[in-house]
Each structure stands twice: as structure tokens, then as C-alpha cells.
Chain A
């Protein structure tokens, strides 16, 4: 089954404790992206990657890191999480091209205390 898989689905942690949210897709997609969803703000892009070893900042990259060492994986790293990073996070992937729809994972709800 074609899918984007995020782990964990839920995480409660404390300020300053490094965490990684994994994202994996099995569709051989070139493009991958991370978004955060906050009430009243919709989805905002954090980082995206056009292909292996190519990553770029989105609208809200501060406090986040990403890497794209393999085509299928695109982990999101919070080196020193803070409470304002409490949010619902989505990973998405698509084929290359402006007209390609994105496929989304089921989300990761992070709470930073």
C-alpha cells in the first residue's frame, strides 16, 4: 500500500530534550516536505526537499533541522525543543512537478512542556 509513515504519532516531552520525528514514503517520490498545523493558521511549511541531499527552508524553519540522506526518508529534528513548537506535524511527499498532488502522513502531535 502506498503510504507516508510518521513516527511517533504522539509525543509529550520537555523543553530542551532533543527529539526526532521520522518520515518514510514507499512511493519513490522525489519531493518531501514537513508542515506544522496550528489552529487558525492552517498548514505552514517548515522544510522541503526536492531530492536526496537537497533541502530548503520553508516559511517557518527556525528551531528545526532536516536531512535527506535517502530518497525514502526525511526526518525532522528538534535539537532543543521549546513550548512554542507544540503543534501537529505532517510529512508529505510527491512526484517532482508543479502539478503533482502531495500525499500526507497521518500526523505527529507534539507537546513540549
Chain B
């Protein structure tokens, strides 16, 4: 299968600071990337859909000014949590969709980023 990486895998930051998470498709071009959030013992909830070169589409209840998403290339999408607060502490997972390229029609998931805001 195709490979998707996320960086960092873990990050601890202080309340009020901003954190950037990178999602990369390593061996295919991702026309679309998705960002999910998972709270403890809960399922994955979609935050936003990111298409290369265009603005992200956010799910209801997700603040676009707080969770900035940039998809500047076909292999990289970034999620920036601005002015983080303890309630933003969560597991953030991205997935990449190749649209028929090497990634086939599956979505491939990154390993996730554990964010802890103190």
C-alpha cells in the first residue's frame, strides 16, 4: 500500500501557542487529504477536507480560524492549531486519497499526532 507520514508523532505545547502538524504522501500524489480528530475512547471525527491548491472545507462546528489547513502541494498538507488550549488535546490523524494514482482509490492514513496542551 501507499505510505503517508505525519510529523511530529507527539507534541506537547503550552496553552496559547500554535502547533503545526505535517501530513505527507510519500510515494503518490494526493489530490485530497482529510484531517480527523480522535478523543480518548471515541471514534475518528472528520475535521476538514483539503484539496490541493484550494481552500479547505471544514465540518460543522470546526473553527477554520483556529485549525488552519494548507494543502500547497500534491504531497503535503499541514494543520496548524492556533492559540491552542487544553481542550484541543487530542489525537490528530490525516489521510490521503490518490484518486487513481499509485494510491488507488483507497484512502491511506498517517500514523497520527498526539497533541497535549498544558
Whether A and B are associated in the same complex: the answer reads no
A interface residues, Cβ below 8 angstroms from B = none
